Amino acid sequence: MPSDQNLDALTRRLKDFAEARQWSRFHTPRNLAMALGGEVGELLAELQWLSEDEAVELVRAGPHRERVVDEVADVATYLLRFCDVLDIDLVQAVARRIEQNEQRLPVQHVTGRAVRTRELQDGSALADRGPLPTS
């Protein structure tokens, strides 16, 4: 199967798949969001209890990689169906969000730091914290 399919083609293929099986009535935003959450949980389960190094090693090759790839595909499938049902342009939505985050998270204030939502809301993430630690 070619990997150069674009999102529009995949979205259409998923819609055709659902319609051919008369599943469109089940593909409500609520049901799709719940299915998406379930698939994200299955992806997380593949990495649960592993150290960072173990997770990277197991996902790089072998049968564990195939399970992770399958779960990633399931997550993407439900996300694409969700966007299609609600007429959300995924590429446009992601591009818009990146632009928002570029404004909210200025490079000079957040580089090399994990920033919590709470810190964004109260402004403490944007406060000068001194030089970055060296490793």
What is the secondary structure of 11-74 as a DSSP string?
Answer: HHHHHHHHHHTT-GGG--HHHHHHHHHHHHHHHHHHHTT--HHHHHHHHHSSHHHHHHHHHHHH
pLDDT of amino acid 126: 61
* Domains of the chain in sequence order: 7-88 (1.10.287.1080), 89-127 (no CATH)
pLDDT per residue, tens digit, the chain (135 aa), is 555 579 999 999 999 999 999 999 999 999 999 999 999 999 999 999 999 999 999 889 878 899 999 999 999 999 999 999 999 999 999 999 999 999 888 888 788 888 776 776 676 666 655 554 555
pLDDT of amino acid 133: 53
Could you tell me the pTM of the whole model? 0.81
CA pair distance 131, 115, nearest whole angstrom: 16
pLDDT of amino acid 105: 86
pLDDT of amino acid 70: 96
